[in-house]
A and B are shown apart, each in its own frame.
Chain A
Amino acid sequence: GDSVTQMEGPVTLSEEAFLTINCTYTATGYPSLFWYVQYPGEGLQLLLKATKADDKGSNKGFEATYRKETTSFHLEKGSVQVSDSAVYFCALSGSTDKLIFGTGTRLQVFP
């Protein structure tokens, strides 16, 4: 069945460092790919999405490119801030429209 694998955390960075969180997927057909973020004490929020191969999703300085050849959707940000500290979830939506999530990656940014 469809699945998502993302790197385990926590990822610990200093402010202004470069961030990469790896995400790979297995799916039949043409899934859409999402990154959701969960800030402490809050619900899941959509960060960005891409709906077809080679699309790049971007928001708040974060980017991810839908790579069909490597079945990946890695999240990147050039310069992280303390306020980016949160748990990040990679997810896909396939033929049945439900979301399938990875296990989440906790990001901790220190000043």
Chain B
Amino acid sequence: DTGVSQNPRHKITKRGQNVTFRCDPISEHNRLYWYRQTLGQGPEFLTYFQNEAQLEKSRLLSDRFSAERPKGSFSTLEIQRTEQGDSAMYLCASSDSWRGANTDTQYFGPGTRLTVL
């Protein structure tokens, strides 16, 4: 069990550019979550997948954001036409949840820190 991994760990981009982040969950975990954390705040939910199906999206996820999990394993989060307000830590988590139980533990990756200049 190697844990949740995220790449890149840091990304600096100019306003208006597109960026893509990758998350590799713990092997065999069927649920994968994306959160965003800004300085001094707790993580905020963005979206999550059950296998390859995207089951919920937050209103925080504007149409510039898109997430995929094409084969039910790794996931990508793309931000198009980045804005300075997108600067944050993007966190990925995974869990082994077959019955939708809210008791399941989510395991977090180290995050990708995005800075938009």
Rounded to whole Å, the gap between the CB of B76 and the closest CB of chain A is 19
Q: Which residues of A contact B48 (CB under 8 A)?
A: 97-98
Instruction: For the complex, count residues of B whose C-beta is within 8 A of A.
Output: 27
Chain B binding surface, main DSSP class: loop
Instruction: For the complex, count residues of A whose C-beta is within 8 A of B.
Output: 26
Q: Which residues of B contact A42 (CB under 8 A)?
A: 110
Complex alpha-carbon distance, A34 and B102, angstroms? 11
Can you name 22 A-B residue pairings with CB atoms under 8 Å? A4-B42, A32-B103, A43-B108, A43-B110, A44-B43, A44-B108, A45-B108, A46-B106, A49-B103, A49-B105, A51-B102, A91-B42, A93-B103, A95-B102, A97-B97, A97-B100, A98-B48, A98-B56, A99-B33, A99-B35, A101-B42, A102-B42
